[in-house]
Amino acid sequence: MCVSMLTGHLTEFNINEFYHQSGVLTDPGALLADIEHIIRKRRSISESLLNARVFINNGTRDDFGYSVSNHPPREDESLSEWLERITGASSFCAVINGLNGWSDALAQKINRDFNKEWVEKYGIPSQGIDVYSFMGRYSLTPFGIHKDQEHTFLYHLGPGIKKAWVWDPAIKDIAPVVKSDSFNLKETLSWATEVTLRPGDALFIPQNWYHVLENPEFSVTLGIAPYEMKRSQLLTSFLSDFLAVNNTEDPYITLPLREEADVKDIITAVIPPDSGKNSLDGIAYQGLARLINRLKSNSYFKYTSPDRMTGNRSYQYHGDIVFGETEGGSTRIYLRGKDFLVRNEVADKLFDLKNEMARPGFSYGFRDTDAEGVFNKVITQLIHTGVLV
């Protein structure tokens, strides 16, 4: 990748203007191979399932979503032949989210060529940056003409072409037509910009611009989208985080029927008794710090890495480890988007270990038969979270 995945060949980038550029990816086949490797080798990476959905006849089929994870392509099958086999259809669309957690090479490329520049220009997206893929052969996007709340960057990997129609809201608001029929391309076509995407092309669609896509030939597209939370969502996340961190249980609550009932027990069940000393400001400050640390440790990606399996081999440092707040005799550490509370002495040793791991040429030979102990448990956790790969 010789050019920025954010701006492409542009010297000036306007986040409110759509673009289509050719040759942004110099080797789309390499990214396609990364995605295919994830699909074929999922079981060797993690026992977790891929975050996959499959659309048939404009509807989601959960069973096919499971099949994407549990029934990988045969050695002699292409991705197209595989999806035809597991769906039994000639027209289909498969979507996989959170690809960054499954391919360390892909995560490093996108962090270098997109995330860092985005964060530098626009700040940290409060939900993080998703990396996903659409693949298939279909007449129109399964959910029809639609708009997204997030900015959307699409990179076409091929092998076939992809068509897109994009509506500039400054030219025509097509909402009245779309609300009655989201597949009414004919009536809205005169106001659309039509684009044909070929391997290596990039398409940027600003937030809240209506668009729809078509795969007349089987093809795969890589998508990148920075996701934000609304103010209410952000506040709710702070409160949820506070309750999750301070309480191991999350009980179901039944409300009293009679007004004269003593609701004190209900309030106590909802708000822990020892939380009265925490102001809303304090909870928000704490929640914001934790959210930022999680995103920083995960290179600002939305989805974390699945729980990785350990193997008897050498591991290198992928990153990242972020050291957060101290809580009594413990320190909260953040490992590629996941946080853990460890004793201060363990955090101190982990700090020294991080400096060692970050040195060029670092390699750690892991063996399942290594002696039990705190250090081995730390190393195992670093492997499970994808910090060591």
pLDDT value, residue 1: 45
pLDDT value, residue 259: 67
Q: How far is residue 140's CA from residue 216's CA, in Å, rounded to a whole number?
A: 9
pTM of the model: 0.92
| The 338-343 sheet, strands edge to edge | 321-327, 330-335, 338-343
- Could you please report the per-residue DSSP string of 128-165? EEEEEEEEEEESS-TT-SB--SS-EEEEEEEES-EEEE
User: In 3-state terms, what secondary structure has residue 308?
Assistant: strand
pLDDT tens digits for range 69-78: 999 999 999 9
For the chain, domains (ranges, CATH) are: 19-227 (2.60.120.650), 231-384 (3.40.366)
Average pLDDT over residues 38-65: 88
Identify which has the larger pLDDT, 238 or 140. Answer: 238
pLDDT value, residue 258: 72
Identify which has the larger pLDDT, 95 or 261. Answer: 95
Q: Is the pLDDT score of 19 beyond 80? A: yes
Identify which has the larger pLDDT, 63 or 260. Answer: 63
Closest CA to 152 of 204, 213, 230: 204
Closest CA to 146 of 96, 177, 182, 180: 182
pLDDT tens digits for range 160-186: 999 999 999 999 999 988 887 778 888
pLDDT tens digits for range 77-129: 999 999 999 999 999 999 999 999 999 999 999 999 999 999 999 999 999 99
Average pLDDT over residues 222-229: 98
Query: For residues 185-199, b (16+ Cβ closer than 10 Å) or e, as one string?
Result: beebeeebeebebeb
pLDDT value, residue 306: 97
pLDDT value, residue 247: 62
Strands 314-315 and 192-197: unpaired
Q: How many residues does the chain have?
A: 389
Q: Is the pLDDT score of 143 beyond 60? A: yes
Whole-angstrom Cα Rg for the chain:
24
